[in-house]
Amino acid sequence: MNISDFNIEFDKMINRDYFSDKVHPLREKAFSKFLEIGLPTKKLEDWRFTNLSSISNSSFRISEKQDAPNGDVDISQYQIDDVETIVIYNGHYIETLSSIPSGIQLLTGLDYLEKTNWEFNSPEHSPFDLLNTAFMDSGMSIVVDQNVIVEKPIRLLFISSGSESLMVTPRIHIDLGESSSATFIEDHRGDSNSFFQNGSTFVTLKQNAQLDHIRIQSNSVTTANIVNIQVEQNANSRYTFFQFADGGQLGRLNIYNELKGEGANSDINGLTLSNDSQHLDNHVITDHQMPHCSSSQNFKTVLQDNSSGVFNGRTIVRKDAQKTDSSQSNKNLLLSKSALMNSNPQLEIYADDVKCAHGSSTGALDKDALFYLRSRGLDVLSAKALLVRGFATELLDLVKHDGTRDFIIDRFDSWLAENTTA
Amino acid sequence: MSNEQQVIDESLKKDYAYGFVTDIESETLPPGLNDDVIRTISAIKEEPEWLLEWRLKAYRHWLKMEEPKWAKVVYPEIDYQAISYFSAPKKKELASLDEVDPELLATYTKLGIPLEEQKMLSGVAVDAVFDSVSVATTFKEELKKAGVIFGSFSEAVKNYPELIKKYLGSVVPYTDNYYAALNSAVFTDGSFVYIPKGVKCPMELSTYFRINEANTGQFERTLIIAEEGSHVSYLEGCTAPQRDENQLHAAVVELVAHKDATIKYSTVQNWYPGHPETGAGGIYNFVTKRGICLEENSHISWTQVETGSAVTWKYPSCILKGDNSVGEFYSVAVTNNHQQADTGTKMIHLGKNTKSTIISKGISAGQGQQTYRGEVKIMKGAENARNFSQCDSILIGEKCGAHTFPYIDVRNPTAQMEHEATTSNIGEDQLFYCNQRGISSEDAVSMIVNGFCKDVFKELPMEFAVEATKLMEVSLEGSIG
């Protein structure tokens, strides 16, 4: 996508009859800012390891009405047991396939903006935040009232399909009222080979609210996935995030997590599997602004073939955030000689009475452990697979919901079967 | 607590103990930088044509470069045209110490480095760099017997041009970074060390740098070459007079270790950190230090104790090219009052079985801001490379900051690398425990901090270790509240 491609697509967006023109000023402002800065380059510290050529060298068009499915779609292949599913197909909400969970309010983006009196703070951490505001075309706002406990996980299933090169820009809002709790699953799948998704998710947790957020990035290995997650936490709220990523030619997860109330807690975790020439990037910022908060970041990557990965974690402890307890861990397993991992666990600390630790390690499978298993009669492949499985188990166990965990473990095992080599 | 408060008050009032200006006539160029200034510097130093060409190439390259902005430090923009690029004490060509300006000698005495005494007692040869020109070099004779060349850079240019030509810029090319390019264009002097094959340098080599002339940027260039099987330990220590104008220091240090050679480079840096209350007038220390382990089994070790300077931008690095070569980095950095430091190291593993160790201890007090920024790069060919990094920080007080930005790039699966870091404060329980046993808070802090830094101090040569411990006490005294 060069700038003129973006311009053409933006004109189409603005002239679309079924989008409310109330949102246009918001889009126009963000787009003109985007035009000023353009796509990030490797010269920027934050993007120095991320090669965006799969976005900048192809051209995508926004998804139109005709890209919605003709008739029924079989979603049984995307089954996850025991969840409420809302289906979004190439950026179009498919009501017939969706089951609306009880206990929550589902709003469109516009309804949500009206509800919040348009007092919405759009972050501008990167040009992709601006692009999302300019092009937002799908997604959902989920509002949970105070004291409501939503038992069944809510899944937003994003399917990308067809042979067209589409650019889809979902925007999700999740608002949890005081003392409410929910589990939310973002599930990205589909068979489309050329696809650029630039999603933003905004999470707001009121006091004592609790959200389990699971993100599955398992779409085709030739797509580009950019995701920007912004989390605002109030006092004593709890946020757990887990990403399982094995899809995407280019994947980039940006999380900006603000701990704005005392006693808030966040745990951000990720398991990334990559092969061929995939590049999967994880950028996480945890910003401690108030005292007595705790946080952890735990990311693991398994890399095969020529794939590359990045972990860039940053924990910021502001002046007032005394008694912070935080940890950061990044462990990476290189299964091939040509895989590359960049690990940057960073701490930025301005308060003195805090406990912050971080650690990182990168290496191959332990030869002694392999020898031990082989001496007990396991063949090379099973021994290696067992060790990789052991490496990942700590994270897989974090998924509390049975159906989702089973699905992720299946997916993990089949990846392992394909990618374990002697 | 009132006792501690008193200590804080006292130490806050304390002026920089080493702040004084020596009044010696200097030969100084007017401020500004252009081709002519570089030609003049080169002419004053009677340099060969090729070196002038090299300087001019570096200058032209520098003009095309931009000042780096990625470091986590804040300082007013530097006007490079307002700096005078050459300053030298007027009296030159001294045959012995007796001819040295007595006032200059007195300066060294104030700093605790009486040349004569050192000549007799300490067994340390001192190449004292006063501003930009080496004035006196002791112990030359004895080193000569061993075949070691130790002297000022400009002498080396005259006496060993083939060595300089071969190695100058071979580790830090003038294109490397903004400050290295500037240094390459205008460097005035520095030290040159050459250890021939199989020689273990009979004594520790030491240079005291001193910034003097007001408004004079100090552009030192140090080159150390250790031939096959040789061994050298080099000490660099710095103190500077108190000033109200910021002074720029952009040095370049290059180390070359051949097969089986060992170079140990230790630094104690205590330049004027700026006014304790406003932070005004401190030194800017933008240094490029890099060593290359050129052949197998070579070893380079950097040890640094950084307590001074207003702004520090410094990453002593090792390129581990030879198989089985070893790189080490041990650092203690203190930022107090308004000091800022962005420092760390780079370990670049190219050869097989290369090993590196990074131990970095940061102490931040007052409104000090400190950043550890280190890179460990394991390239494709670095089979079985090994790295261990540990960076710990202590925070003292509510207004300081400690940041850790490690960059870890691994391109070879047989490599093993580990990084660990912790950040904490001095625990009330630790202080209470010491108090309870009759140790004053001040002593307790000093004890805890020294224990925290022990892993690094034990790497320092004896005399330096003593100086470092003292420096830590002076730098941190009373910052506990």
- % chain B with pLDDT above 70: 76
Would you state the torsion angle of the CA atoms of residues A135, A136, A138, A144, taken in this order, to the nearest 10 degrees? 180
Mutate to test the interface with A, among B410, B422, B431, B476 (most CBs of A within 10 A): B410
Q: What is the pLDDT of residue B27?
A: 64
Chain A positions in Cβ-Cβ contact with residue B422 (cut-off 8 Å): 356-357
Can you tell me which residue has the tokens 């697979």? A385
Across the interface, whether the CB atoms of B425 and A358 are under 8 A apart is answered: no
Q: Which residue of A has its CA nearest to B382?
A: A337
Angle, vertex CA B360, rays to CA B356 and CA B365, nearest 5: 170
A-contacting residues in B 328-367 (Cβ below 8 Å): none
Residue B26 — pLDDT band, cuts 50, 70, 90? low
Instruction: State whether residue B396 sits within 8 Å of chain A by CB.
Output: yes
Provide the shortest C-alpha distance from residue B158 to chain A (in Å): 42
- Distance from C-alpha of A54 to C-alpha of A415, rounded to nearest angstrom: 23
Can you tell me which residue has the tokens 């095309």? B64
* Helix-helix angle B35-44:B178-186, to 10 degrees: 50
Name every residue whose Cβ is closer than 8 Å to that of residue A102 and which is 6 or more positions away in sequence.
none
- Distance from C-alpha of A57 to C-alpha of A13, rounded to nearest angstrom: 21
Least confident of A206-210, B108-112, B143-147, B435-439: B108-112
Q: What is the pLDDT of residue B189?
A: 79
Q: What is the pLDDT of residue A73?
A: 82
* Neighbour-count burial for B387-407, b at 16+ CB within 10 Å, e otherwise: bebebbbbbbbeebbbbbbbb
The residue with greater pLDDT, B322 or A69, is B322
Paired tokens of B141:
């004779």
Output helix, strand, coil percentages for chain A, rounded to the nearest 5. 25, 40, 35
A266-280, B196-210, B304-318, B455-469 — which one is most confidently predicted on average?
A266-280
Paired tokens of A121:
């703070």
Amino acid identity at A360: S
Least confident of A113-122, B135-144, B191-200: B135-144
- Distance from C-alpha of B474 to C-alpha of B170, rounded to nearest angstrom: 39
ipTM score of complex: 0.73
Chain B positions in Cβ-Cβ contact with residue A348 (cut-off 8 Å): 401, 403
Mutate to test the interface with B, among A42, A337, A338, A346 (most CBs of B within 10 A): A346
A-contacting residues in B 419-448 (Cβ below 8 Å): 419-425
Name every residue whose Cβ is closer than 8 Å to that of residue B294 and which is 6 or more positions away in sequence.
B256, B257, B258, B259, B321, B322
Across the interface, whether the CB atoms of B425 and A354 are under 8 A apart is answered: yes
Provide the shortest C-alpha distance from residue B94 to chain A (in Å): 51
Q: Are strands B401-410 and B369-378 parallel, antiparallel or unpaired?
A: parallel
State mean pLDDT over B112-136: 44
Chain A positions in Cβ-Cβ contact with residue B414 (cut-off 8 Å): 363-364
Distances, alpha carbon B164 to alpha carbons A230, A363, B316, in Å: 56, 40, 21
- Distance from C-alpha of B385 to C-alpha of B287, rounded to nearest angstrom: 27
Neighbour tally for B88: CB within 10 Å: 23
Burial of residue B360, with CB atoms counted within 10 A of its CB: 0-12 exposed, 13-18 middle, 19 or more buried: buried
State the first-to-last Cα distance of chain A, in angstroms, to the nearest integer: 40
Mutate to test the interface with B, among A304, A325, A352 (most CBs of B within 10 A): A352
Q: What is the pLDDT of residue B12?
A: 46
Across the interface, whether the CB atoms of A347 and B410 are under 8 A apart is answered: no
Chain B positions in Cβ-Cβ contact with residue A336 (cut-off 8 Å): 413
Name every residue whose Cβ is closer than 8 Å to that of residue B138 and which is 6 or more positions away in sequence.
B97, B115, B118, B119, B125, B126, B127
Chain A positions in Cβ-Cβ contact with residue B408 (cut-off 8 Å): 341-344, 360, 362
| SS3 state of residue A260 | coil
Please report which helix (H) or strand (E) contains residue B3, including its range. Answer: helix B2-13
Q: Which residue of A has its CA nearest to B409?
A: A342
Residue B241 — pLDDT band, cuts 50, 70, 90? very low
- Distance from C-alpha of B400 to C-alpha of B55, rounded to nearest angstrom: 40
Across the interface, whether the CB atoms of A355 and B411 are under 8 A apart is answered: no
Distances, alpha carbon B23 to alpha carbons A153, B18, B101, B105, B214, in Å: 78, 15, 11, 12, 11
Least Cα distance to B54 among B34, B39, B44, B66 occurs for: B39
Q: Do residues A156 and A182 make contact, with C-beta atoms less than 8 angstroms apart?
A: no
Residue B109 — pLDDT band, cuts 50, 70, 90? low
Neighbour tally for A186: CB within 10 Å: 22
Name every residue whose Cβ is closer than 8 Å to that of residue B341 and which is 6 or more positions away in sequence.
B73, B306, B309, B311, B312, B314, B333, B335, B362, B368, B369, B370, B371
pLDDT over threshold 70, residue B87:
no
- Distance from C-alpha of B106 to C-alpha of B127, rounded to nearest angstrom: 16
Answer positive or negative: Cα dihedral of A121, A127, A132, A133.
positive
- Distance from C-alpha of A31 to C-alpha of A228, rounded to nearest angstrom: 17
pLDDT over threshold 80, residue B284:
yes
Provide the shortest C-alpha distance from residue A357 to chain B (in Å): 5
Answer positive or negative: Cα dihedral of A142, A145, A147, A148.
negative
- Distance from C-alpha of B4 to C-alpha of B7, rounded to nearest angstrom: 5
Q: Do residues A210 and A231 make contact, with C-beta atoms less than 8 angstroms apart?
A: no
- Distance from C-alpha of B358 to C-alpha of B381, rounded to nearest angstrom: 21
Distances, alpha carbon B424 to alpha carbons A297, A325, B394, B478, in Å: 18, 10, 5, 18
Q: What is the pLDDT of residue B213?
A: 42
Chain A positions in Cβ-Cβ contact with residue B390 (cut-off 8 Å): none
Q: Do residues B363 and B369 make contact, with C-beta atoms less than 8 angstroms apart?
A: no
pLDDT over threshold 90, residue B242:
no
Q: What is the pLDDT of residue B190?
A: 82
Across the interface, whether the CB atoms of A344 and B399 are under 8 A apart is answered: no
The conformation of residue A167, written as its DSSP 8-state character, comes to E
Can you tell me which residue has the tokens 């002791």? B138
Across the interface, whether the CB atoms of A353 and B425 are under 8 A apart is answered: yes
Residue B1 — pLDDT band, cuts 50, 70, 90? very low
Paired tokens of A1:
């996508």
The residue with greater pLDDT, A37 or B442, is A37
pLDDT over threshold 80, residue B73:
yes
- Distance from C-alpha of B48 to C-alpha of B45, rounded to nearest angstrom: 9
pLDDT over threshold 80, residue B464:
no
- Distance from C-alpha of A328 to C-alpha of A359, rounded to nearest angstrom: 6
- Distance from C-alpha of B448 to C-alpha of B442, rounded to nearest angstrom: 10
Amino acid identity at A43: K
| SS3 state of residue B121 | helix
Chain B positions in Cβ-Cβ contact with residue A335 (cut-off 8 Å): 413
Chain A positions in Cβ-Cβ contact with residue B399 (cut-off 8 Å): 319
Burial of residue B268, with CB atoms counted within 10 A of its CB: 0-12 exposed, 13-18 middle, 19 or more buried: buried
- Distance from C-alpha of A89 to C-alpha of A157, rounded to nearest angstrom: 8
- Distance from C-alpha of B360 to C-alpha of B332, rounded to nearest angstrom: 6
Residue B306's Cβ-side half-sphere holds a number of Cα atoms within 13 Å equal to 36
Least Cα distance to A220 among A54, A342, A51 occurs for: A54
- Distance from C-alpha of B169 to C-alpha of B187, rounded to nearest angstrom: 12
Q: What is the pLDDT of residue B479?
A: 61
Express each pLDDT in B179-195 by its tens digit.
999 999 988 878 899 99
Interface size A-B, in CB pairs within 8 Å, comes to 110
- Distance from C-alpha of B131 to C-alpha of B74, rounded to nearest angstrom: 26
Would you state the torsion angle of the CA atoms of residues A144, A145, A150, A155, taken in this order, to the nearest 10 degrees? -10
Q: Are strands A294-303 and A238-245 parallel, antiparallel or unpaired?
A: unpaired
DSSP string, B416-428: EEEEEEEEEE--H
Paired tokens of B278:
């406003």
Mutate to test the interface with A, among B340, B372, B399, B423 (most CBs of A within 10 A): B423
pLDDT tens for chain A, residues 1 to 422: 888 899 999 999 888 877 788 888 889 999 999 999 989 988 888 898 898 988 988 889 998 888 888 777 888 889 999 999 999 999 888 888 888 888 888 888 888 888 887 777 678 888 999 999 999 888 789 999 999 999 999 999 999 988 889 999 999 999 999 999 999 999 999 988 889 999 999 999 999 999 999 999 999 988 999 999 999 999 999 999 999 999 999 999 999 999 999 999 999 999 999 999 999 999 999 999 999 999 999 999 999 999 999 999 999 999 899 999 999 999 999 999 889 999 999 999 988 888 888 888 998 999 999 999 999 999 999 999 999 999 999 999 999 999 999 999 999 999 999 999 88
Mutate to test the interface with B, among A299, A315, A350 (most CBs of B within 10 A): A350
State mean pLDDT over B154-182: 90
Mutate to test the interface with A, among B409, B418, B425 (most CBs of A within 10 A): B409
Paired tokens of A311:
């972990």
What residues does each domain of chain A span? 3-365, 366-422
Provide the shortest C-alpha distance from residue B261 to chain A (in Å): 29
Amino acid identity at B185: A
Express each pLDDT in B380-401 by its tens digit.
999 999 999 998 888 888 888 8
Across the interface, whether the CB atoms of A332 and B410 are under 8 A apart is answered: yes
The conformation of residue B122, written as its DSSP 8-state character, comes to I
Provide the shortest C-alpha distance from residue A353 to chain B (in Å): 6
Q: Which residue of A has its CA nearest to B427?
A: A353
State mean pLDDT over B279-297: 88
Chain B positions in Cβ-Cβ contact with residue A334 (cut-off 8 Å): 410, 412-413
- Give the closest of B396, B409, B421 to A358, CB-based: B421
Q: Do residues A52 and A60 make contact, with C-beta atoms less than 8 angstroms apart?
A: no
Q: What is the pLDDT of residue B132?
A: 41
Q: What is the pLDDT of residue B240?
A: 44
Paired tokens of B151:
């002297």
Least Cα distance to B289 among B297, B299, B275, B300 occurs for: B300
Instruction: State whether residue B458 sits within 8 Å of chain A by CB.
Output: no
The torsion angles phi and psi of A173, rounded to 5 degrees, stand at -115, 135
- Distance from C-alpha of A40 to C-alpha of A83, rounded to nearest angstrom: 37
Across the interface, whether the CB atoms of B414 and A353 are under 8 A apart is answered: no
Residue B231: strand pairing partners? B200, B262
- Distance from C-alpha of A339 to C-alpha of A300, rounded to nearest angstrom: 15
- Distance from C-alpha of A161 to C-alpha of A198, rounded to nearest angstrom: 16
- Distance from C-alpha of A286 to C-alpha of A358, rounded to nearest angstrom: 13
pLDDT mean across residues, chain B: 79
The residue with greater pLDDT, B218 or B338, is B338
